[in-house]
Structure 1
Amino acid sequence: MRKKGANGQKSRARLLAVAANEFALSGYHKTKISTIVSRAGLTQPSFYLYFDSKEAVFNELMLKFRSQLKEMVVDSRLESGIQREDVRDVIQNVLRNLFGFLLMDPDLTQIGFFIGEEASEVKEELTRMIAQNLKAEQRDGYFHPEANMDIVAECLVGTIERLTLQELLCGKSTPEYLAEQVVNLYMFGLTSHRD
């Protein structure tokens, strides 16, 4: 039987946080339940009050990342009727929120986006959702009608993945800066326009 009440919830939350950190640092296979409980200041039997196995903890963390990411992307679709001059700022805000989400819990991001067996599947799902948003936004007239939004979505997810690993999680760049750079690249390209 699982513990009830505030102490039980705190212990469970502590186990999840420590487990996320251990998985992010050591990977799934090298992480041991004994290390998790030791770092959490709990006993191994107390671990089994909340989780059936190491796999159960990892799967819960993966599901948490996946569902939060999905909710964020679903909510990020541009609404109809945005003024053309505001589109850039709205998209930049969406990307800033996405990078902010990925930075908010770096351990969970490592698990869900990079080390979990389902990480590739998560990125494929992310790509599909972004493509759906982009196609709807394209129909609303925000983007060039001939742009292949499936390819744009693939490029965006690749960009987000690489920048998260090389810039965001190691503290080189902020979500704001990365969002600005990505928007400038995708909306204005690399060439300089001279009048």
Structure 2
Amino acid sequence: MGQRGRKKGTNGEIRRNLLLQIAAEEFSKNGYHETKISTIVQRANVTQPSFYLYFQSKEAIFQELIAIFRDQLVAFVQQSRLETGMEKGTIESEIKKKLTTIFSFFKEQSDLTWIGFYMAKESSEIKNQLACQVKENLRKEQEDGYFRADVDMEMVADSLIGIIERLTETKLLKGVIEPEELANEIVHLLLYGMIS
């Protein structure tokens, strides 16, 4: 799962990643306060002292999960900016592809997504950071002539994050819709609107 503060050695890395994975499942399913270190170590088949070789506390492992989510999400959004000089006919499919990648991450890492996007007290800050990054991407894409010059990209970015947040919770994480289909719906709505 993560790369932070790893204990050296393959067995140590495997054990640490297993603790992170199990902790993510437990926090996601039971919430922060109901999750117990004793449950995490029991499921990982390690001792409690072993847990403390890798993490100082329950709060420390929770914060690391949030950091992993944030780092991965930031990387995906940075990679989602459209390249300069693209042909106009390829823009829609490229946006769909990049948004599908983000939704696939949310689905594959559903426990991390639930923690970082909804549970953590930092989730609002994460979404604000995400909106700022999306706004920068959109403004650059606007300068490149991909989008109308009269559109307020801050409003578009905030709207897009709201759409992503809500539909991830109500559709994607509940298995109602697949990442590619969700990306297609959102891109179609934003690029073409609702008027028939």
Could you say which residue in structure 2 is the equivalent of 1:175? 179
Instruction: Name which of 134, 139, 164 aligns with 1:160.
Output: 164
Which range moved further: 5-14 or 107-116? 5-14
| Partner of residue 28, structure 1 | 32
Cα displacement string for residues 42-69 of structure 1 (whole angstroms, at most 9, x for unaligned residues): 1111111111101110111111110111
Any residues of structure 2 matched to 1:101-116 within 5 Å, and which? 101-116=105-120
SS at match of 1:170: coil
Return 5+ residue gaps in structure 1 as ranges. none
| Matching residue of 1:191 | 195
Q: Give me the CA root mean square deviation.
A: 1.1
Q: Secondary structure at the match of 1:131?
A: helix
SS of residue matched to 1:151: helix
1:3 to partner: Cα distance: 5.8
CA distance in 1, matches of 2:93, 2:48: 50
1:102-147 CA-to-partner distances (Å, cap 9, x unmatched) read: 1111101111111011111000000000000001100111111110
Following the alignment from structure 1 to structure 2, what is the Cα–Cα distance between the partners of residues 36 and 166?
Answer: 28
**In 1, Cα distance between the equivalents of 2:148 and 2:16?**
49
**Match of residue 149 from structure 2:** 145
Q: Does 1:73 align with 2:77?
A: yes
| In structure 1, distance between residues paired with 2:8 and 2:143 | 51
The structure-2 alpha-carbon separation of the partners of 1:48 and 1:136, relative to structure 1 and needing over 3 Å to count, comes to same
> How far did residue 4 of structure 1 move?
3.9
- Cα distance in 1 for partners of 2:12, 2:78 equals 33
Q: Quick one: distance in 2 between partners of 1:63 and 1:164?
A: 19
After TM superposition, the score normalised by the length of structure 1 is: 0.95
Equivalent of residue 125 in structure 1, options 129, 137, 141? 129
CA deviation map 1:145-178 (0-9, x unaligned): 1100000000000000111111111111001100
Q: Does the alignment pair 1:54 with 2:58?
A: yes
For residue 12 of structure 2, the aligned residue among 8, 14, 23 is 8
**Segment of structure 1 superposing worse, 3-12 or 129-138:** 3-12
1:5 CA drift (Å): 2.0
Give 1:101 shift.
1.1
Q: What number of residue pairs does the alignment pair up?
A: 191
Structure 2 equivalent of residue 92 of structure 1:
96
Tell me, in whole angstroms, the C-alpha distance in 2 between the residues paired with 1:57 and 1:191. Answer: 48
Counterparts of 1:7 and 1:67, CA distance in 2: 24
Query: Which ranges of 4 or more aligned residues in structure 1 deviate by more than 4 Å?
Result: none
Which consecutive residues of structure 2, in runs of 5 or more, have no partner in the other structure? 1-5
- Separation in 1, partners of 2:84, 2:141: 8
